[in-house]
Chain A
């Protein structure tokens, strides 16, 4: 009798604790969810909605176009140009940036003098505003800028990097590689520190050189981190906007117009909100497809 009674009380207390826990869990989840809803989920649905309209800010009644905006996209030469630029940009930036980040992390993980200084130095661009770094690079790339004066010492003719259609996109790519390599270096550093030292020692005894240790142990062992870095930088590259906005306005002659920039141009320069929204949806679709393909063919952790 007595023990049964005690058990009952205990169960009751347990269940009330559980209810209480759930209450607080939902309370804490509610506010971030609400913020996300207001600033992310609802805008996404809203832009999906307006992509079917010829949406005008001043009009009292919006003109429904059905899928016409999407049809227009597939005939839009500038959109194709923007897509090509974005793909070139991604192909140029992602591999170099990933390899550079891993290389930097590998070097920074060795016992070298001034390690803390170098780590900080490489990471600073990542915590600096992209607008600030972009403005600095505009100065570096200008006709009288640092890059030309350095190259001039080696006898190269001065080039106006950002207004030359052949070099404008590459110039922006270089900036982005520089700023994000340090950022991803930190991810790789964390990954490297998880590799047991005994693996390197075993390899060393078996006669593996530094380079062989890097290719046969480091690279495969940080594969989950590499996956994360590639996904993050793929998404970042497909969405590249601020550097273009500050440095080149998509010019010259759309040489640096990227998809995200084209979305902005349509929506907020030409005020074709419906068309802009449709391009944004297509961009989101492309990013999703690329990520799915990556996950399918390059899984994060096959072993």
Chain B
């Protein structure tokens, strides 16, 4: 068990490339934290700095309030699960799991106990004398997790552990890792580039881009209250729609764009005042677009006429892609499959006024 405190952490490479530009994250004991971001955002580098596999160029890293910057990886009491599993191909499953314990000169009986316990938890008991090459990808990843468990570490680190697995197995392993976390209650730090995986697994999600933290929050808060346009577009699938427009004043403030005119919801009337006559980006999620002919309860925006271009039917729901008044951008709108649309269909929709997001064009910060 451990708390992790990351303070103004930096990573610079000799060619003056900044991979991590001063990151602050604090991780509570037993928390499951996901580091997520597009490739090259520094999430793996950050994880490897926590592990001690990368040197820290600046800032401080604490485990349980103890400075870890120059502590050797083996003395940090961490275990890491790698994307390519990193199993020793010449050792059996048992030996793979026992390797670290043997190095610690632990008693044979104790090693046996720990390995068989872990194998039981992970359903690997009957595979203990197999070699990694005789196992499937999912089983190999379980062995890698087992190798981490037997060491009883304070912190588990996962570096994109599921990206080499197929989609179905990935969802299954996701649940298994979460179940394991509930059972062991260890601090876990998990890196992924997949925002759905992040949302599904994290107690807390750290969104990184270009070596900077954009937002740290719970999944639901990230979805409801993104701090900036990047987070808003990154979280959610299909992604949030953005429309660029202007704020005008009549009796109250309005957002005007491409033949659309929405009155700004009351809570935002005051803060939007300073954007009067300026351009802002408006964001709305595909989930909050409604067919005006069907939805009568919610406070919807004025009518928006759209023509459906493409329909993706994924079973329980459909993603309808459309263009707005001849603009190039393609927007999406989620409907239930029972209300399926067809390409070429014209309809009138409205957007839930409670669920609009506005962003400053220059800073891209959310206007609250």
Contact = CB atoms under 8 A, between A and B. Distances in A.
B156 to A, nearest CB: 11
Classify chain B: how many residues form its interface, as a range: 20 to 34
Contacts of B90: 220-221, 223, 302-303
Interface stretch (B81-89, B264-272, B341-349): B81-89
A202 B48 CA distance: 12
A19 interface: no
Interface stretch (B99-107, B165-173, B354-362): B99-107
Contacts of A203: 88, 99
Nearest to B104: A207
Nearest to B79: A205
Contacts of A201: 53, 80, 82, 86
A204 B88 contact: no
A295 interface: no
Interface in B55-74: 73-74
Contacts of B51: 205
A198 B82 contact: yes
A206 interface: yes
Given A205-B73, A206-B100, A206-B103, A198 B86 contact: yes
Given A198-B82, A201-B53, A207 B103 contact: yes
Classify chain A: how many residues form its interface, as a range: 10 to 19
A206 B97 CA distance: 10
A200 to B, nearest CB: 9
Interface in B126-159: 131, 133, 147, 151
A207 B89 contact: no
B133 to A, nearest CB: 7
Interface string B22-55: 0000000000000000000000000000011100
B89 A202 contact: no
A162 B86 CA distance: 51
A216 interface: yes
A206 B84 CA distance: 17
A214 B189 CA distance: 30
Interface in A238-265: none
A303 B89 contact: yes
A208 B133 CA distance: 23
A196 interface: yes
A219 to B, nearest CB: 9
Given A198-B86, A303-B90, A303-B131, A206 B53 contact: no
A207 B100 contact: yes
A212 B88 CA distance: 13
9 contacts: A199-B86, A204-B53, A205-B73, A205-B74, A205-B78, A205-B79, A206-B103, A208-B74, A216-B88
Given A202-B80, A204-B73, A205-B52, 17 more contacts: A198-B84, A198-B86, A202-B86, A205-B73, A205-B74, A205-B79, A206-B74, A206-B100, A207-B104, A208-B103, A212-B103, A216-B99, A221-B89, A223-B90, A302-B90, A303-B131, A303-B133
A-B residue pairs, 5 tightest by C-beta: A206-B100, A207-B74, A198-B86, A220-B90, A202-B86
